[in-house]
Amino acid sequence: MTGGMTGRTCVRFVFLGLFLVFFAATSRAQLQGIVDMHAHSDPDTQPRRIDALELAREAQKEGMRAIVLKNHQMPTVQLAYTVSEVVPGIQIFGGIVLNRAVGGINPQAVEQAAAVKGKLLKVVWMPTVDTELGAVRDGKQTRPFVPVAKDGRLLPETVEVLKIIARENLVLATGHSQPADSLLLVSEARKLGITRIIVTHPMPLGMTLAQMQEAAKQGAMLEFTGNPVLPFGPQGTISIKPEEYAAAIHAIGAEHVILSGDFGGAQFPPPMEGWKAYLAAMQKAGVTQSEIELMTQKNPAGLLGLE
């Protein structure tokens, strides 16, 4: 069993290595000015490629402008503050994900994260790993989950968190919410005056093109992350073709889209190499350099208030 797994792992990394060699050579300068709204690193409770210090140093060396550190289980504002003190030349921000580890939809957790010295909280993600989508299989609940809505209406605590986001001028990210709930979040956020909204993983989570266009019409940014279009797993498979991303981007409009990494997982390439391969794959799929610059630089910088 061990030998078989090792063999499959070797096949995966050989395939991935060839992919990176083929694509990365055309994208060496493309990380200049990039703002990554979705970066994973150690320390974490699951295996990560590199720690936050190494991530920041490598991103700074490549000329990236800013990174938002994401952790599914704990706020990253303190980590962002420390890394910012150690690594100059790049802006590092934090976030909080409202999973069970922080009490779910917990307004007080958001209040405290926003008050941490440095004021580096930028993104509040609705639940990710603890959503109903991940907890219900074949109509049966397999573990506890954190709802954001019930019977087509947002829960009172969800609305309270949205009010804090509006007051603190933070970014709302819909997390791993099902598409209908994401649209509820976008609509209520706009009513409350929130202008910085991200729909997380719209295609992997099953959003239709019409739903994505509706979210964009209401002022949300659709986030297309890199790992679904890169080969991983034993056979070097991909879950979404770059051409599918490109078609959706052109149907929605690049002005309503951000490209993020979501790298850092042990099964994916190192973040900087992943970014280079991702951008090269998108260019090969028909996304122009000007569109890439809009989606990786101007749009996310606007979300963070860096303009």
Q: What's the domain count of the chain? A: 1
Residue 1 lies in a domain: no
DSSP annotation string for 114-183: HHSTT--EEEEEPPSTTSHHHHEETTEE-S----SEETTEE-HHHHHHHHHHHHHT-EEE-TT--HHHHH
For residue 202, being part of any structural domain is answered with: yes
Q: What is the 3-state composition of the chain as percent helix, strand, coil, each rounded to the nearest 5?
A: 45, 15, 40
Tokens 């309270």 sit on residue: 160
Instruction: Note whether residue 191 is domain-resident.
Output: yes
Mean pLDDT value across residues 167-178? 98
**Is residue 134 assigned to a domain?**
yes
Query: Could you report the per-residue pLDDT of 85-95, keeping only the tens digit for each?
Result: 999 999 999 99
Mean pLDDT computed over every residue of the chain? 91
Average pLDDT over residues 214-238: 86
- At residue 6, the pLDDT reads 47
Q: Is residue 2 part of a domain?
A: no
Which domain range does residue 182 map to? 22-303
Mean pLDDT of 152-174: 98
pLDDT tens for residues 232-291? Answer: 755 566 789 999 999 999 999 999 999 999 999 988 889 999 999 999 999 999 999 999
pLDDT digits (tens, 9 = 90+) for 33-49: 999 999 999 999 999 99
Question: How high is the pLDDT of residue 81?
Answer: 98
Mean pLDDT confidence for 59-69: 98
Which pLDDT does position 135 carry in this prediction?
Answer: 82
Q: Residue 142: what pLDDT?
A: 86
Q: Is residue 14 part of a domain?
A: no
Domain assignment present for 177: yes
Region 216-233: mean pLDDT is 92
Q: Which residues face 153 on adjacent strands?
A: 150
pLDDT above 50 for 22: no
- The answer to whether position 13 is within a domain reads no
pLDDT for res 2? 34
Q: Is the pTM of this model over 0.75?
A: yes
The CATH number of whichever domain residue 61 belongs to comes to 3.20.20.140
pLDDT of residue 205: 95
